[in-house]
Amino acid sequence: MTTISQLSELDLNASYTYADYLSWQFNEVVELIQGKIYVMSPAPNVKHQSISWQLSGLLFNYFNHKPCHAFAAPFDVRLYDRRQSILTNQDITTVVQPDICVICDDSKLDEHGCNGAPDWIIEILSKGNSKKDVHTKHALYAECGVTEYWLVFPYEEVVQQFILTSGNPRYQLANTFADNDLASSYLFPDFTLNLSELFTHN
């Protein structure tokens, strides 16, 4: 397969696979969603990165010596319909880089990242990617079987928690955390997050 060294060499209206993605050597960071290229926004701002750093630290401490693993972007996650078995690189058409994800099944981890749906994904909204995270990824993560999905709104200082229950194809909004709330995880109920502390440092 030909190595692509410039994003401009690609047709952004064409459809690609994970095998194509592995051949790309350009500097721009992209995600592949159902075969279509999504160019990531410019580097996240200080508010976004501060929140990501705090969440990463809290999750590292929580999952240390536990069987699950937390990863922060950049980290490739290959996704496909949860009813399908593991696909080959040529068959996978979605590769995303969630801000933070938690994976409890070690068999999904390989040298390239995560092959299959993480258990929990956290996306921190930036002004340029809110539509993708709120709509496109919201539907994608549900379809692929991500059980818990958090959306962090840095400027509104709000966290929305969505849960995918058995037999339900769509997320249900479980909680909206704000102000001095303690946000707790559905999958890991003893993990709690003080929102006032999370947003005060930004």
Q: What is the pLDDT of residue 78?
A: 96
CB atoms within 10 A of CB 162: 21
Does residue 126 lie within any of the structural domains?
A: yes
Three-state SS string over 49-68 comes to HHHHHHHHHHHHHHHCCCCC
Cis peptide before 74 (omega within 30 of 0): yes
Q: Which residue range forms the structural domain that includes residue 123? A: 46-200
Mark whether 125 and 183 lie in a shared domain: yes
Q: How many Cβ atoms sit within 10 Å of the Cβ of residue 53?
A: 12
Angle at alpha carbon of residue 16, lines to 134 and 162, rounded to 5°: 20
User: Can you say how many angstroms the Cα of residue 145 is from the centroid of all Cα atoms in its chain?
Assistant: 13
136 and 116 in a common domain: yes
Q: Is residue 85 in some structural domain?
A: yes
pLDDT by position in tens, the chain (length 202) = 677 889 999 998 999 999 999 999 988 889 999 999 988 877 778 888 999 999 999 999 999 999 999 999 999 999 987 666 667 788 899 999 999 999 999 999 999 999 999 999 999 998 766 666 778 899 999 999 999 999 999 999 999 999 998 878 899 999 999 999 999 999 999 999 999 888 876 5
- Which one, of 65, 140, 152, 67, lies nearest residue 102 by Cα? 67
In a domain, 1, yes or no: no
